[in-house]
Each structure stands twice: as C-alpha cells, then as structure tokens.
C-alpha cells in the first residue's frame, strides 16, 4: 500500500492540474494486484471520500485521477480510467497518455510534455523505455 498526499492550498498559484498514475513496477498488469483499488481521502486516513476499483486495468500503467483548479480557483478531483498501452512508469507514458489528457484539460498546454528532475552524484533514476528516447540532455556543474 502506498499513500500520496496533495495539499491544494500549498500548491503554486500557477499550477492548474495534478495527475495520478498507477503503475506496476514488478511486471504483470494493474489488475493482477490483490484487491487493486485506489482511495481518495480528505484530511485524514479515516476520511475516505471515494474508492475506485482497478480490476479492469489490463495495462502496466494507467492514468487514474486528476486534481484540477477550476476557473473560480477551487480544486476538483476527477476519477479517470485512461490506460497506457505502452510503458510501465510515468515517464514512459508522458506521451501520448498523460500529454493527451493534459491538453484536453488545458488547451494551451505544450504539444509535447517533458520531464525534468534533479540528480545527485551517484543517484539512480528511471528513464523512459530506451526505444522511446529521442534525445537526452545532461547539465553538469
């Protein structure tokens, strides 16, 4: 079991969307997980406001929810069932799975979603599937 907490009031004002991805990192597909579901909690573990089964998820990764800022500035949660046909990690499904969804919610979003992350000397990170990598840039110093 894993928990991800999002505190909307602490998010940057310019942020419009947070997406939630479920992925199998040890092989198999999502529905193979025992009692596969995700829960939406509010303020505490004991305050569940939604529970969504993942038994139909036949892929290794899927977009299962989003938190988006409305035009009035409030945050809304939307349950999703967007399978990722290829990939088993969020970086693998940036395009087209996550990118298509982001552009459907934010029409002015970039045509291609990119990921950037800091690395420390000696650290190990997951990169996209090697057959999907077009270019890799590393800044040193």
Residue ranges per structural domain of the chain? 8-115
For residue 88, whether the previous peptide bond is cis, meaning omega lies within 30 degrees of 0, is: no
Query: Does the pLDDT value for residue 127 go beyond 70?
Result: no
Query: Does the pLDDT value for residue 125 go beyond 80?
Result: no
**Tens digits of per-residue pLDDT, 61-84?**
999 999 999 999 999 999 999 999
Strand partners, 85: none
Instruction: Kindly report the average pLDDT of the chain as a whole number.
Output: 86
Residues of the chain above pLDDT 70, percent? 85
CB atoms within 10 A of CB 128: 18
Q: Give domain 8-115's CATH number out of 3.20.20.70, 3.30.360.10, 3.40.630.40, 2.60.60.30.
A: 2.60.60.30
Residues of the chain above pLDDT 90, percent? 48
pTM of the predicted structure, to 2 decimals? 0.79
pLDDT band at 124; cut points 50, 70, 90: confident
Write out the two tokens for 10: 């602490």
């Amino acid at each position: 079991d894993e928990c991800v907490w999002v505190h909307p009031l602490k998010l940057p004002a310019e942020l419009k969307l947070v997406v939630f991805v479920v992925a199998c990192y040890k092989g198999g597909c999502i529905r193979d997980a025992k009692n596969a579901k995700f829960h939406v909690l509010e303020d505490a573990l004991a305050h569940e406001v939604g529970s969504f089964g993942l038994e139909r998820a036949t892929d290794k990764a899927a977009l299962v929810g989003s938190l988006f800022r409305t035009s009035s500035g409030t945050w809304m949660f939307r349950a999703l069932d967007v399978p990722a046909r290829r990939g088993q990690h969020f970086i693998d499904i940036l395009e087209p799975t996550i990118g298509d969804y982001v552009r459907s919610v934010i029409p002015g979003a970039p045509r291609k979603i990119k990921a950037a992350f800091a690395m420390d000397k000696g650290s190990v990170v997951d990169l996209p599937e090697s057959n999907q990598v077009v270019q890799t840039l590393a800044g040193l110093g």
